[in-house]
């Protein structure tokens, strides 16, 4: 990888967010399925902006694939490329970066492909395997040649060593050996396969299009873009095998109590996606309502930190009666990052992306609603910008509880030591950021906003909320092996 | 130009808006001025997305320039390119497309440069010259070799034929010969020059940075990004010449009553820019307020058409008391356009960019607020999407009067025959789009929102509103020569 | 792979030659070894023009690699790329195409890399494994995931399954399982390893540079370019392991009588390389001498078919006394092939590359000396050009015997049915090409020119000459399994 | 221009040759004429490798053009580009660099185009105007805006200021104002025009293809590649205007005695081109013969310095009886230059391109034949290589007289101070290069080889030989203005 390519991977202006690591999409029974996959991945681009890949199968032309750095729209819209991906069956993947890899290389881009004695199979994985490192060591000792630094490649090697006769059975075999979070879409020459881990940490939904067409996707917004009808969510622990317009469902794993990732509601999923029959936008709006109840303040304006804080800010405004306004404008021509930027550009930071509407906020008491605080560095910069513009008071309201623990289930989080909430109390954070007041929604408030009227069930939480609570539903065994300390039992 | 480059210029998914054709920026007295110009142009990217250019001057290395298709951030952030543009004085230009040119070529990208006997001079022009075609013919007959299809190149050739001794005097000479709208930024080896036409149709502001640094820009948001202090607007008919930290102002034209473009308030300018001491955001918010007063309706939700309708929708919600919600989500990874897209992609149209939040609008009476209706094609598609999602009623509210006349002053508008409002009454438009109701703000309402409490002064309008009224402050002589019919006197 | 990339792989203008499939180079004990590898590969570019790869190891930065389509000089000269390949140990590979692959993909570019429990190892292979297909099937059945279509990847998977403790022992283990022709250069974190198959079909030489530096290369011309001193050839069946300036030699295979590829003398190797202590140029010159003795003719000029026929033409002229002249000029700006060429260009064929010097050949009896006849299509075109230019007679003299059998040891040859000499007698070929006379050197003459004064030892041939004789020293088992018929015993 | 682009223009490995600065080609009456132009320019690539441009005219689609850095085959073979250059009339240009420009920019690439009141006209110029600088100053004072740094652009501006009614008359008008050397090809919407300066310093030939097709080209090798029949040379001082298959010839200049550039015979032209009815190859061969007569030596081998020394070396061998051999091998994969090369690569110099065949020259007395000595730096390096390889003696024989004066007529030569022969006698040069003997052909010998049996006519030389003799047929007035001292009259 060249220096320029390396720079492409750094995120100097957007490093203060948790990052979903993947979006996946598959289609079967549709002419030129790869086109539908490209559109689905475009709708899922927020789940992974670094790179994307598509594998397609055509009865005449066999398996074809393309893996590219950059946005879906810049790669998978060109006729010349899409014509090289013919056939009625295709799957795809967009990624931010995988846990096991230090630097991005083209070989790390999914879907992964393996040639087995019963034919080829491609696999796309959203999530993270918490025992990938020990599995990898074990597989290498038994002759596996790994081509990528991705934990997901273990799945293909475990399949290769399974004694099962069908691809689906080999996938089940392989996934029984892994720990962690996974939603998987796979394809053979004739089948589209979807699997979700027993806890259902990562989302996976099914849609229908036309007579024989079925699609699998991380979120419902990817069904909308192609005009597919939402059928249902794949259940935690379920495997579906789709062929010739028929769906076979099975449960290859031991049953478990579901623990869907609550951060999908807070930030990862698109606001126009539906989760559990409920719009993500509504949940976020409701978080704002709960936040206004839990942490009211006298102020003149409620302004979102663009763009993710907007629904909660509208909810806060609605509940509090304080007028909603776009006090901060986002430059819509800001791309993901810069290749080989000048020093001058590098130092501009958040200013390249955000600008405060001076005449709007001057002299005002402003409530700023953001979705989360990770390192806190961006919060400080935004506070500076808004005070420079003449705001009288700045009240930060955060639409999630303090992020105090790293995620090991497919989300890119800093080391625990870099999480502001792991090092400081709420008051210390307020002083460090330098705002008039700072309040986070409570864990119970968040659960209520997500539809759990009674709040969090501490004995048996309805969601995975490890990043807030430190309560990890699957022990991160590789991390523990490297010295990570779990929260002490209370 | 290759086929691929040609496709790059088509706008298949965004062709139902008026387009500002240019943004300009200049800096003097700042180390590596080109970096500041790049940042300023990035902030002005909404005024022209097709291409950009920068000319810089360094006492040792002379004039250097770079002209590129694509976004500022993709070109003018790279260290390797910026190092080739050294020196304390630089100007730049972003463009959509110039009136005189059929297809984009690199030679059409400004700033234009001319070598004169008293030294080189670069010129960047925002606006459109309405007598460019006859000027061009005349210049060619006298030996001028035109290098571009741009009307702005006339300025350079007129300068070359002036008998004046200084660049500034030659610029004044040249601009006295042109008709139409122009804000011009020019540079010599030592001077930064700004000029605005006597009507002041297009904006131009001045800012200060550090001890000796001055900048000129189309909008104040470009001062904010580099941290420059707003000094003042260049007055209609004014020329400023900046050198060694000193500003000389003169008035080289016959005085005229200013007619600033009112569409800058409606759509072109960024909401965080200030015009006439007032935030564009506030004007747009106030348009929503006026619209709610003029065209109230019983409804459940007020939703903006993203993103430009948002401030007016907030105003409408505020005034009407109907809750504001983001019923339509915009895909933030949607770029400007696609190179060589597949047929499949081409047919997706607006779906690639917008998605309706189904569970939010289902069964609801929705007020949709958009900034303008040009051809009406996008309005129809959005109406379909929102009805497909199950909305009970759709009430379109438009934050500008009906656009019934083309602009000849630097805005890309379709031929008159393609403007929906030139062919239909408001009721016919409502039926053709297919919505429950459709209302535009009145011209007086728009003037009130822009701060003219008494509305439009018909005898002597405060703004150029030719696109709504057909009242052209400068006769478009080239167009008239080709058969364009002005509105009959009333 | 896009359509454009596919076109890049076609060879419309140069498809009438046998093609060597690979060149390999390795360096140890030299600062920034990858730079030396790049230069070595540049010198070996004639052995493979499609693509190249380099793997380097640095104690701090571990293994790094780059694989690129195109010439070495276009990729591996850029500072930005070479800086990403640090360290004192590196190996590289240039390739034409591998036997097992239909279309070029980046994953097929060598060196291949495997992570083993005792550390990483990279392998570059020149030659072809004649039992690769059955090995591949067997390995897949035992859980191997192949990433490329290259037969050479088997070596890595066989290594992964070996129980040996060191990389070198595993390489020996793996190579004992393969059949066919191979010269292999491999590297671990600390060792550079070279191996040659027991017959020594493909070349491999060792050089020394500075105090501690050693290099391995396909040919001596790659030593010359970096100024390395020639040490010796690696012997058939020998393995060398170089570390810390010391060389360990071993013989891991059963001994066999060497059968070096005689076509290396005729065409593949560069004329300035030395084989067996003798310059390739001299052998070719001597082929011309033998040819003049075996097939004399009355003529006015001896002209080479550029560039490979030149030394033999000089020899022919020398022996016959007929003046030597450059009657055909080669366009030196002709690249390897064209991407997406126009129909017009495609039809130009050989004219793009060659032009006859009309005033030189007009009315003359011309002896044309070429290195070989494969399909015969280019010979016909050259004959036409030279007759069009007015030559009185054309006498083709070929510096190799008739090519009547395909090579399975690392050379790209057409199917037997497409070889002109497999279908026609010498007289039939003369008539089909349409020349006054056509003569090939005899097999014995070729052996004499290569230094075997007594000619070919039929009982125990000194070279592999299967392409001429059909006498295959290693049975091509995969091919036989697919129906290839060996020459019947005489 | 970026740093990388600048590097593209440096010639670190090939800077010790005089460089022809341009090749030109035009075609009329041929379907898709631009394709023929591309092929013609490919054949003329040796006359200019930096960049190329084509302008085409189609009755429907008007004038289209493309200008690109790099080889013809890398740009003007792609269907996508060539389709953008439709029509039956096209001209093109390849360039090394123009005299007036310090660094290459796309605007300097010819053909230049001007829009006149009677329609567009494109002009391609081979040669150099010796009064361009004063003309340029004068034109700028009268309002001309220059777009390039090229002296050739003056022609277009002079045309624009002419009062003549036709393009052809304006071209004649313009060329009467310039001094220096020029072969010009121009095109209007319907005419192909060719002009040669009165001295006929640069070549220009005419060919015919098909019924109505005519082409103009710098050399006959460009006729051969498209299969065109050679018609005749354009005469010195002649203008031809070709339209609808008819040729009009006129003589717009005062008559003069022709002085064709003798260096075209020595080095610039391709050996397969015909000049004055004689093959360039034959002249070069004859130079070798003359050289063997003038400067015989006892030796074992005659070796050419590849590739340009080859015909003379064959002639030397033929005349002297010393065997001819390719003692130095040229790497055929060496491109023009490297972009952003590593330090290591930069230091390799001539080794990247040339290698000595050690076993051939070891212990031998070698005659090395080269075409010319400019700075002498490459000669020194080659001498070192050949001595390192063990040669006993090295006798340099140069196929041209000492190059002691710069060329101002379209050839890139160093300043006089950098020419070895301007600073040293033949013996001093021999010692500085470090060879056993060094001999140049005499000026008379060169004339004899070029067909002038009586040698040079000192009173009225048959050729321009200013680079050898200092006898400039046109006074280089711009240079004299800057202090260049002509040779004192003898």
List residues of C with catalytic annotation.
Answer: 22
Residue B114 and residue D145: Cβ atoms within 8 Å? yes
Q: Is A469 annotated as belonging to a binding site?
A: no
Q: What is the pLDDT of residue A346?
A: 75
Asked if A157 has any chain C CB less than 8 Å from its own CB, the reply is yes
For the cut 70, the answer to whether the pLDDT of residue A15 exceeds it is no
Average pLDDT score over chain A: 91
What pLDDT, on a 0 to 100 scale, did the predictor assign at position C96? 80
- Residue D80 tokens read as 């996508």
| B-chain residues near A229 (CB < 8 A) | none
Contact A42 B329 (CB under 8 A): no
Give CA–CA dist B57/B63, Å, rounded.
4
Least confident stretch, B54-68, B322-336, D43-57, D373-387: B322-336
The tokens for D84 are 């953008």
Mean pLDDT, range D322-329, rounded to an integer: 96
Q: Which residue has better confidence, C58 or D353? A: C58
Q: Does C410 touch chain D (CB under 8 A)?
A: no
Q: Do C140 and A157 touch (CB under 8 A)?
A: no
**pLDDT tens digits in sequence order for chain B, 490 residues long:** 333 333 333 333 455 777 777 999 999 999 999 999 999 999 999 999 889 999 999 999 999 999 998 899 989 989 889 999 999 999 999 998 644 344 567 888 999 999 999 999 999 999 999 999 999 999 999 999 998 888 899 999 999 999 999 999 999 999 999 999 999 999 999 999 999 999 999 999 999 999 999 999 999 999 999 999 999 999 999 999 999 999 999 999 999 999 999 999 999 999 999 999 899 999 999 999 999 999 999 999 999 999 889 999 999 999 999 999 999 999 888 765 556 678 887 777 778 889 999 999 999 999 999 999 999 999 999 999 999 999 999 999 999 999 999 999 998 888 899 999 999 999 999 999 999 999 999 999 999 999 999 999 999 999 999 999 999 999 999 999 888 988 886 5
- The pLDDT of residue A339: 60
What tens digit of pLDDT does each residue of A285-338 get?
999 999 999 999 999 999 999 988 999 999 999 999 999 999 999 988 876 555
Chains A and B touch, contact meaning at least 3 pairs of CB atoms under 8 angstroms apart: yes
Say whether the D–A interface has 3 or more Cβ pairs within 8 Å: no
Q: Bridge-partner residues for A22, per DSSP?
A: A95
| Mean pLDDT, range D346-374, rounded to an integer | 91
Helix/strand/coil for C56: strand
Burial B181-199 (b: 16+ CB within 10 A, else e): bbbbbbbbbebbbbbbbbb
CB contact under 8 A, A140 and C117: yes
D22 is catalytic: yes
Model confidence pLDDT, tens digit, residues D241-290: 999 999 999 999 999 999 999 999 999 999 999 999 899 999 999 999 99
Alpha-carbon span B282 to A360, nearest angstrom: 7
Output the CA angle C31-C35-C37, nearest 5 degrees: 105
| Tokens coding C288 | 């011309």
Any CB–CB contact under 8 A between B480 and chain D? no
H or E element in which residue C15 lies: none
Q: Is the pLDDT of residue D416 over 60?
A: yes
Bond from prior residue into C195 cis (ω within 30 degrees of 0): no
Nearest-5° angle of CA D326, CA D331, CA D335? 140
The model's confidence at residue C348, banded by pLDDT at 50, 70 and 90, is confident
Sign of CA dihedral C124, C127, C133, C134: negative
Q: Band the pLDDT of D190: cuts 50, 70, 90.
A: very high
Task: Please compute the mean of the pLDDT values over residues C193-222 and round it to a whole number.
Answer: 97
Contact (Cβ atoms closer than 8 angstroms) between residue B395 and residue B366: yes
Query: In whole angstroms, what is the distance from residue A252 CA to residue A182 CA?
Result: 14
Better-scored residue on pLDDT, D150 or B186:
B186
- Whether ipTM tops 0.95, in short, is no
Q: Which of D80, D142, D145 sits opposite B156 (nearest CB)?
A: D145
Residues of B in contact with D161 (CB under 8 A): 143
* Nearest to B149, CA basis, from D115, A159, D98: D115
**What's residue A285's pLDDT?**
98
Encode pLDDT of D418-455 as tens digits. Answer: 999 999 999 999 999 999 999 999 999 999 999 999 99
Round to whole Å and give the CA distance between B17 and C213: 67
Which helix H or strand E contains B38, and what residues bound it? helix B33-43
CB contact under 8 A, B352 and A42: yes
Task: Identify the residue with better confidence: B189 or C415.
Answer: B189
Distances (CA, A) of B375 to B262, B404, B417, B433, C366: 20, 10, 10, 10, 74
How many CB pairs below 8 Å do chains C and D form together?
A: 182
The stretch A474-481 carries a mean pLDDT of 91
CA–CA gap between residue D129 and residue D478 (Å, rounded): 9
Joined together, the tokens standing for residue D247 give 């040729």
In the predicted model, what is the mean pLDDT of chain D? 91
What are the pLDDT digits (tens) for D276-300?
A: 989 999 999 999 999 999 999 999 9
Flag whether pLDDT at D8 surpasses 50: no
Pairing of β B51-58 and β A301-304: unpaired
Query: What is the predicted pLDDT for the residue at A91?
Result: 98
Predicted pLDDT at D14: 52
Given a cut of 60, whether residue D66 has pLDDT beyond it is yes
pLDDT at A101: 41
Q: How far apart are CA D175 and CA D252, in angstroms?
A: 9
Q: Which of A22, A154, A221, A303 is catalytic?
A: A22
Given this model, what pLDDT does residue C100 score? 39
**Which DSSP string do the residues of A344-356 spell out, in sequence order?**
HHHHHGGGGTEEE
The distance of B251 to chain A (nearest Cα, Å) reads 30
* Cβ burial, residue D437 (10 Å; 0-12/13-18/19+): middle
Q: Is A467 annotated as a binding residue?
A: yes
Q: C299-320 burial, b if ≥16 CB within 10 A, otherwise e?
A: bbbbbbbbbbbbbbbbbbbbbb
Comparison of pLDDT for C8 and A51, the residue scoring more? A51
Q: How far does the CA of residue C80 sit from the closest CA of chain A (Å)? A: 6
Least confident piece of the model among A341-355, C241-255, D168-182: A341-355
D428 reaches C (C-beta below 8 A): no
In this prediction, residue A295 carries a pLDDT of 98
Q: So what's the pLDDT on residue A269? A: 95
Residue of C156, C81, C168, C143 lying closest to C113 (CA atoms): C156
Residue B20's pLDDT is what?
A: 72
The residues with which C369 forms a beta bridge, in sequence order, are C304, C397
Cis-peptide, bond into residue B307, ω within 30° of zero: yes
* pLDDT for C8: 33
pLDDT at residue D183 tops 60: yes
Let me know if D414 is exposed, middle or buried by CB neighbors in 10 A (0-12, 13-18, 19+).
Answer: middle
Task: Name the token pair of A260.
Answer: 């869907």
- Does residue A445 register a pLDDT over 90? yes
pTM metric for this prediction: 0.86
List of residues 6+ apart from C246 with CB closer than 8 A: none
Cα–Cα distance, D423 to D402 (Å, whole number): 11
Determine the distance from the C-alpha atom of residue A331 to the mean position of all C-alpha atoms in its chain, rounded to a whole number: 23
Q: What pLDDT score does A287 carry?
A: 98
- Per-residue pLDDT, averaged over D91-104, amounts to 67
Residues B64, B257: contact at Cβ < 8 Å?
A: no
Those of residues 369-398 in B touching chain A at CB distance below 8 A are none
Comparing A234-238, B100-104, C93-97, D392-396, the range with the smallest average pLDDT is B100-104
3-state secondary structure of A108: helix
Angstrom distance (rounded) from CA D161 to CA D158: 5
B413-446 exposure pattern, b = at least 16 Cβ within 10 A, e = fewer = bbeeeebbbbebeeeebbeebebbbbbbbbbbbb
Reference A275, options A287, A261, A288, A254; nearest CA is: A261
Beta carbons of B325 and A285 less than 8 Å apart: yes
- For residue B344, give how far its alpha carbon lies from the nearest alpha carbon of chain A (Å): 7
- Nearest-neighbour CA in chain A from C194: distance (Å): 22
A254-277 per-position pLDDT tens digit:
999 999 999 999 999 999 999 998
| Pairwise CA distance, residues D6 & D90, whole Å | 29
pLDDT of residue A308: 86
Residue with tokens 């689905």: A40
The alpha carbons of chain C give a radius of gyration, in whole angstroms, of 23
Answer yes or no: is pLDDT of D7 > 50: no
For chain B, the chains sharing at least 3 beta-carbon pairs closer than 8 angstroms are: A, D
Lowest mean pLDDT among A417-431, C14-28, D129-143, D334-348: D334-348
A303 is in an annotated binding site: no
Task: Let me know: does B43 contact B94? Beta carbons within 8 Å.
Answer: no
Confidence (pLDDT) at A80? 86
Instruction: Output the pLDDT for position C18.
Output: 76
Scored b (16 or more CB within 10 A) or e, C394-417 reads bbbbbbbbbbbbbbbbbbbbbeee
Report yes or no: C331 and D42 within 8 Å, Cβ to Cβ.
yes
- B172 contacts B161 by C-beta, under 8 angstroms: no
User: D141: burial class by Cβ within 10 Å (0-12, 13-18, 19+)?
Assistant: exposed
Q: In what order do the strands lie in the sheet with A205-209?
A: A62-69, A51-58, A89-95, A22-28, A213-217, A205-209, A229-233
> What are D365's strand-pairing partners?
D393
C140/A161 Cβ within 8 A: no
């Amino acid at each position: 990888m060249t220096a320029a390519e390396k720079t492409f991977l750094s995120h100097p202006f957007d490093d203060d967010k948790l990052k979903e690591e993947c979006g996946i999409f598959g289609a079967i029974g549709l002419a030129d399925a790869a086109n539908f996959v490209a559109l689905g991945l475009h709708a899922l681009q927020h789940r992974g902006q670094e790179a994307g890949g598509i594998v397609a199968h055509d009865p005449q032309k066999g398996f074809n694939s393309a893996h590219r750095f950059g946005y879906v729209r810049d790669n998978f819209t060109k006729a010349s490329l899409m014509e090289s991906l013919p056939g009625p069956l295709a799957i795809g993947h967009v990624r931010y970066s995988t846990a096991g890899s230090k630097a991005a290389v083209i070989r790390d881009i999914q879907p992964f492909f393996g040639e087995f004695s019963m034919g080829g199979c491609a696999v796309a994985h959203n999530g993270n395997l918490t025992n990938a490192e020990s599995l990898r060591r074990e597989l290498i000792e038994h002759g596996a040649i790994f081509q990528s630094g991705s934990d997901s490649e273990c799945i293909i090697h475990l399949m290769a060593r399974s004694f099962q006769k069908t691809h689906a059975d080999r996938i089940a075999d392989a996934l029984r050996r892994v720990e962690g979070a996974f939603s998987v879409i796979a394809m053979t020459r004739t089948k589209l396969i979807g699997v979700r881990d027993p806890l259902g940490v990562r989302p996976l939904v099914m849609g229908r299009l036309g007579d024989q067409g079925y699609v699998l996707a991380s979120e419902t917004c990817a069904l909308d873009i192609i005009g597919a009808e939402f059928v249902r969510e794949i259940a935690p622990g379920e495997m579906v095998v789709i062929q010739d317009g028929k769906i076979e469902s099975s449960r290859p794993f031991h049953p478990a109590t579901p623990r869907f990732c609550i951060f999908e509601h807070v930030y990862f999923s698109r606001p126009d996606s539906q989760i559990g029959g409920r719009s993500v936008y509504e949940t976020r709006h409701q978080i704002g309502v709960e936040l206004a109840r839990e942490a009211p303040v006298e102020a003149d304006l409620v302004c979102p930190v663009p763009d993710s804080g907007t629904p909660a800010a509208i909810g806060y405004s609605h509940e509090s009666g304080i007028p909603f306004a776009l006090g901060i404008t986002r430059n819509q021509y800001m791309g993901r990052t810069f290749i080989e930027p000048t020093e001058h550009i590098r130092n501009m930071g958040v200013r390249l992306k955000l600008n405060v509407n001076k005449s709007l906020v001057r002299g005002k008491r402003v409530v700023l609603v953001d979705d989360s605080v990770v390192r806190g560095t961006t919060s400080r910069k935004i506070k500076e910008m808004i005070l420079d513009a003449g705001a009288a008071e700045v009240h930060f309201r955060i639409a999630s509880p303090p992020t105090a623990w790293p995620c090991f289930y497919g989300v890119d989080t800093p080391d625990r030591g870099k999480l502001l909430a792991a090092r400081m109390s709420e008051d210390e954070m307020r002083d460090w950021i330098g705002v008039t007041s700072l309040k986070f929604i409570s864990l119970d408030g968040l659960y209520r906003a997500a539809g759990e009227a009674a709040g969090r069930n501490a004995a048996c939480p309805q969601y995975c909320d490890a990043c807030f609570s430190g309560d990890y539903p699957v022990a991160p065994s590789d991390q523990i092996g490297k010295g990570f300390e779990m929260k002490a039992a209370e």
